[in-house]
Amino acid sequence: MRRCHAIVPAAGVGKRMGAAIPKQYLPLAGRPVLEHTLACLLAEPRIAGIVVALGAEDAWWPTLQLGDRRRITRVEGGAERADSVMNALRALDGVADAEDWVLVHDAARPCLPRADLERLFCELADDPVGGLLAAPVRDTMKRAGDGPRVAATVDRSGLWHALTPQMFRFALLREALAAALAARVAITDEASAIEWFGLQPRLVEGSAANLKITRPEDLRLAEFFLTLP
C-alpha cells in the first residue's frame, strides 16, 4: 500500500454542545476528546504523519498529552471544514506524492475501531477512486415540511450515514477540493468534493461505535464504547 497521511480538521467550536470550550477538548474518560482521536491514528503504523488544523485562537492544544508529537504537524484551520482540510493539504505539498493516500478523520470521533480502520485500508488499497467508512441507514426516515410535521416518509434503501475516516489519493483530493471551493460549492465532507468532481467514492461499512460527538449525551455513549474490550 502507498504511504498514508492523516488530516484532522479541529478548528470548530461545536456550538450544539453548549459548552464553554470547543467540544474536541471536553473531558472524556479522563482525557480530552481530541487526545483519544489522535491516539487512534498514532497507533496505526501505516500513517506516516498527521496534520491537525486548529483555530487561530486555540489555547488548549498545548495542554494535550500526545504520544508522539513528531508525527503531528499543526496548521491553521479555516472558516469551514473544507477550508481547514484544504490548508492541511497545502501543508502536505512537497511531503506527499500524488498517489499517496490522505485519510481525513473528524476530531470529534474518538472511538474509531481498529478493525474499521483495517477494513478501510484493505478495501481501498487498489481502488482507483477511494472511499469512506459509512453505515447503512436502519431507521425509518422522515422529511419535514415547512413546520414540525412530517411531509413524507423517505425510502431508506440505498441510504448510508457517512462516517470518517474518508480516504482518497492526495492529488485527486487536492484538485477536487480546490475546484469545489473555487466554484463555491457546499462541501460537507471530502466524499462530496470527489462526487462533485464526477467520481463515485466506495462505501466501506463501519461500526456504529464510531460516533461523532455532537450533543452532550454523546459523551456518555462514547465513554461506554471506549470501555469495551
pLDDT at 49 over 80: yes
> CA-to-CA distance for 136 and 140, rounded, in angstroms?
12
Q: What is the mean pLDDT of residues 52-72?
A: 91
Average pLDDT, the chain: 94
Q: How confident is the model at residue 20 (pLDDT cuts 50, 70, 90)?
A: confident
**In terms of residue numbers, what domain contains 78?**
4-227
Among 54-58, 82-86, 224-228, top mean pLDDT goes to 82-86
Query: The cell 477511494 sits on which residue?
Result: 130
Q: How many Å apart are CA 7 and CA 179, to the nearest integer?
A: 19
The predicted structure's pLDDT at residue 1: 72
11: CATH: 3.90.550.10
In contact, 173 and 51? CB cutoff 8 Å? no
Assess whether pLDDT exceeds 90 at residue 15.
no
Structural domains counted in the chain: 1
> At which residue does the C-alpha cell 484538485 appear?
175
Share of the chain above pLDDT 90, in %: 89
pLDDT in tens, 77-100: 999 999 999 999 999 999 999 999
User: Is it the case that residue 14 has pLDDT exceeding 70?
Assistant: no
Express each pLDDT in 120-167 by its tens digit. 999 999 999 999 999 999 999 999 998 889 999 999 999 999 999 999
Q: What is the pLDDT at residue 143?
A: 94
Measured distance CA(165)–CA(171) in Å, rounded: 18
Mean pLDDT for the stretch of residues 168-195: 97
Backbone angles phi, psi at 87, to 5 degrees: -60, -40
